Amino acid sequence: MNIAADPSKFTGVNGSAETGRDDATPVQVSADAAPAPASSAAPVPPKSAYRAPAELPTQQGANGLRYDFNHGCRVALPQSTHPWKVRLRDLDTGNILFETVIPAGRISSSKRYYVRIGIEVWQQDENVLTHDYSARDREVLIQFPVGTLGDPLGWFPYAVKFQERHGCKLTCAMSEKLIALLRDSYPHITFVTPEEVEPERYYASYGIGLFFDDKDFLYQPTDFRHVGLHRTAGYILGVDPTEVPPRLTIPDDSRPIAEPYVCIAVQSTTQSKYWNNPDGWRSIVAFLREAGYRVICIDQKPVHGHGLIWNHIPHGAEDETGDKPLSERVRYLKHASFFVGLSSGLSWLAWAARTPVVMISGFTHPNNEFDTPYRVINWHACNSCWNDVRQRFDHKDFLWCPRHSGTPRQFECTRLITPDHVKAVIRSIPGFTAPASHRAGSAAAATADIR
């Protein structure tokens, strides 16, 4: 028999509760969320990239109740002779988030990002649990999606900040390819693959990602398109969002090429990320070679595309593409004079390797990526659609161009970035030597002006 919860017995900020039961079957009670059927589960991101938390909260309280902070604050209340009164409070703002009286059930906060929540539980006006969130010396899990390179590199430093702020025993779950780059630089952090996660261990856990359709802000306190792809992790984890590149360690740090060289990466996952100027890469490679640099392409693939659209390694670039370890990419990047690329994973890897990055991008706003003085964007063209909350990025549409698809303006954001524009940015890099022909031309022009 289901017993409806008395609405007069709970209050809070947008609080709600599901029905209680008079049997031993626990029910889900969702704080700060709209009412849902008693059989519903806690909300999870669509196609979740993370291991689910343990079925029961991992921390044991008095009288058989359990609690934790795994994907939100969770409290499980066993059937009892006397009803439970539960209150969840935001300890930093002072707001009561949720309060209810139920005979048995489960309560979970709707917010899955970091909130310092206090839990208070009573029975017969006797306090049986008061617990304020504290991760010090406790096991905490932060999960990163696999299958992507740049995003976790940008997010990981915020996990480090979280560990430093809270003094917790931090475990990070991510791709083993990234673990190989980070583990030796962060011996105080435990690294595991998603398959190695043990959900029953953790006091708290958080999932870092880009939540495009999170209109209710359950998984992020602010839309990542406003604050930047990497800085969103700072907001999710409640730490300083100032960017910091991660530290990378590789087994072989020797210089791979004796001569001065530049690394480039021309490929990406969708055509809007490419430099769509038809003469762009050919012209830049020729410019760099004339300046005395070898030009090394370190993409994974020499050719990539979809349907009738295919993008090839630029003429004149040396082919170092292929399925090579990321450590080998880092080795090339660390000794390169600079890197020229797109808003893609290898640009983030170059940033992490402390290599100057010339980034050619128009479909993202500059605050979307790490700060570089060598960002190339044409403000005269349509730009920044990816950071426009009115436009939903379609991962399945290789030719995604939400504002001008099928028109002469398609991909103008990078098509109108000229080789001369990129060359001017490259010339501003300290230590860059201009091509001999350019120096000769400038000298001739100066002589003409004098005459």
The tens digit of pLDDT for each residue in 100-142 reads 999 999 999 999 999 999 999 999 989 999 999 999 999 999 9
Q: Kindly state the tokens that stand for 48.
A: 């979740």
In this predicted structure, what is the pLDDT of residue 434? 72
How does pLDDT run across 22-40, given as a tens digit for each residue?
333 333 444 443 333 333 3
Residue 82 has pLDDT above 70, yes or no: yes
* Rounded mean pLDDT, 197-215: 95
Query: In the predicted model, what is the mean pLDDT of the chain?
Result: 87
Higher pLDDT among residues 205 and 47, named by residue: 205
The model's pTM is 0.86
Active site annotation includes 323: no
Residue 438 has pLDDT above 80, yes or no: no
In this predicted structure, what is the pLDDT of residue 47? 53
Band of residue 7 on the pLDDT scale cut at 50, 70, 90:
very low
Residue 435 has pLDDT above 80, yes or no: no
Contacts by 275-280 with C-beta closer than 8 Å and gap 24+?
275/342, 275/360, 275/414, 275/417, 276/411, 276/414, 276/415, 277/414, 277/415, 277/416, 277/417, 277/418, 277/419, 278/415, 279/419, 280/360, 280/417, 280/418, 280/419, 280/422
Higher pLDDT among residues 340 and 25, named by residue: 340
Sequence-distant (6+) residues with CB within 8 A of 409 are: 382, 403
Question: Rounded to whole angstroms, how far apart are CA atoms 258 and 39?
Answer: 66
Helix (H) or strand (E) holding 205, with range, is: strand 204-207
Residue 268 has pLDDT above 90, yes or no: yes
* Rounded mean pLDDT, 379-405: 92
How does pLDDT run across 240-258, given as a tens digit for each residue?
999 999 999 999 999 999 9
DSSP 8-state symbol, 9: G
Band of residue 436 on the pLDDT scale cut at 50, 70, 90:
low
Band of residue 17 on the pLDDT scale cut at 50, 70, 90:
very low
In this predicted structure, what is the pLDDT of residue 395? 84
* Rounded mean pLDDT, 87-96: 96
In this predicted structure, what is the pLDDT of residue 446? 36
Band of residue 451 on the pLDDT scale cut at 50, 70, 90:
very low
In this predicted structure, what is the pLDDT of residue 32? 40
Lowest mean pLDDT among 27-31, 43-47, 315-319: 27-31
Sequence-distant (6+) residues with CB within 8 A of 24 are: 78, 79, 104
Alpha carbon 235 to its chain's center: 11
Residue 145 has pLDDT above 60, yes or no: yes
In this predicted structure, what is the pLDDT of residue 9? 30
Question: Rounded to whole angstroms, how far apart are CA atoms 141 and 198?
Answer: 9
Alpha carbon 388 to its chain's center: 17
Residue 53 has pLDDT above 60, yes or no: yes
Q: What does R_g of the chain's alpha carbons equal in angstroms?
A: 27
Alpha carbon 85 to its chain's center: 38
Q: Kindly state the tokens that stand for 268.
A: 């990406």
With CA atoms as reference, report the closest residue to 305 among 345, 347, 276, 340. Answer: 276
Domain parsing of the chain, residue ranges: 2-132, 139-237, 261-437
Question: Rounded to whole angstroms, how far apart are CA atoms 143 and 146?
Answer: 9
| Domain boundaries 261-437, corresponding CATH code | 3.40.50.2000
Question: Could you tell me how many helices (H) and strands (E) the chain has, helices first?
Answer: 10, 23
Rounded to a whole number of angstroms, the distance between the first and last alpha carbons of the chain is 101
In this predicted structure, what is the pLDDT of residue 1? 25
Block residue for tokens 């589960």: 41
Question: Rounded to whole angstroms, how far apart are CA atoms 405 and 307?
Answer: 16
User: Which of these is catalytic: 32, 68, 151, 299?
Assistant: 151
Q: How many Cβ atoms sit within 10 Å of the Cβ of residue 364?
A: 23
| Inter-residue contact 140 to 202 (CB < 8 Å) | yes
Share of the chain above pLDDT 70, in %: 86
Helix-, strand-, coil-residue percentages of the chain, each rounded to 5: 25, 20, 55
Work out whether strand 318-319 and strand 204-207 pair parallel, antiparallel, or are unpaired. unpaired
Question: Rounded to whole angstroms, how far apart are CA atoms 126 and 146?
Answer: 47
